[in-house]
């Protein structure tokens, strides 16, 4: 656990996310993401919440016994401008591997603050790295990028999914995530 926490700390350090005021930093990243939409060259980045801000406290215990190779895999494609499928359904206490791929030509985001607080997240897997027990608000995907989330749903509910990049939600990039 200590090693995993350290791993995440180093990972966040590499991302430029200090352990300090993450909200402010996330705001700066959002501003950068907005810039990326215009310039097309600055990569968008994931957004993290505060560990004490409503996330399940026992994510480690809940996800420890899971055999992830036996977990159900759900694939979601992000494009201009939508999620395919736009409605996702999960069952409480069942492990899932959620694979997100951006097949569009713009950066997109899988933003679902309430959903991320309703699940025990084991990790988010990048092309060449893995962040253990992240406190996510949103996952950012550049064109042709894939990121994978391993999690166990905890709190049943109907959660909003959207892309918060300029006008993307207005153009229809919204969805629903149900935990039953």
Residues found near Cu ion in the complex (CB under 5 A) = 108, 163, 165, 168, 173
Residue 22 vs 168, nearer CB to Cu ion: 168
Tell me the torsion sign for CA atoms 134, 18, 36, 47: positive
Smallest gap from residue 162 Cβ to Cu ion (A): 9
Smallest gap from residue 40 Cβ to Cu ion (A): 14
Residue 55 vs 83, nearer CB to Cu ion: 83
**Strand arrangement of the beta sheet that strand 146-153 belongs to:** 82-84, 72-79, 96-102, 146-153, 119-125, 130-132
Q: Which two tokens mark 161?
A: 């999914």
Helices (H), the chain: 2-15, 22-39, 59-63, 113-116
Q: What is the DSSP string of 128-162?
A: S-EEES--EEEEEE-TT-EEEEEEEE-S-EEEEEE
Residue 87 vs 94, nearer CB to Cu ion: 87
Q: Which two tokens mark 98?
A: 């959620």
Residue 136 vs 165, nearer CB to Cu ion: 165
Smallest gap from residue 2 Cβ to Cu ion (A): 37
Smallest gap from residue 128 Cβ to Cu ion (A): 24
Residue 17 vs 165, nearer CB to Cu ion: 165
Smallest gap from residue 92 Cβ to Cu ion (A): 28
Query: 174 near 87, Cβ under 8 Å?
Result: no
Whole-number Å distance between alpha carbons of 69 and 118 = 22
């Amino acid at each position: 656990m200590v090693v995993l926490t350290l791993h995440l700390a180093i990972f966040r350090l590499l991302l430029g996310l200090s352990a300090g005021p993450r909200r402010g930093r996330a705001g700066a990243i959002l501003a950068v993401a907005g810039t990326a939409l215009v310039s097309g060259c600055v990569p968008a980045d994931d957004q993290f919440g505060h560990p004490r801000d409503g996330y399940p406290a026992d994510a480690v215990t809940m996800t420890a016994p899971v055999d992830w190779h036996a977990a159900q895999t759900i694939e979601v494609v992000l494009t201009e401008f939508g999620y395919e499928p736009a409605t996702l359904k999960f069952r409480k206490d069942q492990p899932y591997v959620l694979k997100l791929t951006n097949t569009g030509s713009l950066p997109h985001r899988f933003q679902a603050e309430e959903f991320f607080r309703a699940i025990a997240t084991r990790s988010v897997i990048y092309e060449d790295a893995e962040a253990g027990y992240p406190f996510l608000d949103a996952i950012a995907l550049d064109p042709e990028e894939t990121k994978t989330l391993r999690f166990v749903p905890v709190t049943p509910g109907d959660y909003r999914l959207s892309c918060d990049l300029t006008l993307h939600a207005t153009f229809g990039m919204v969805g629903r995530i149900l935990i039953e």
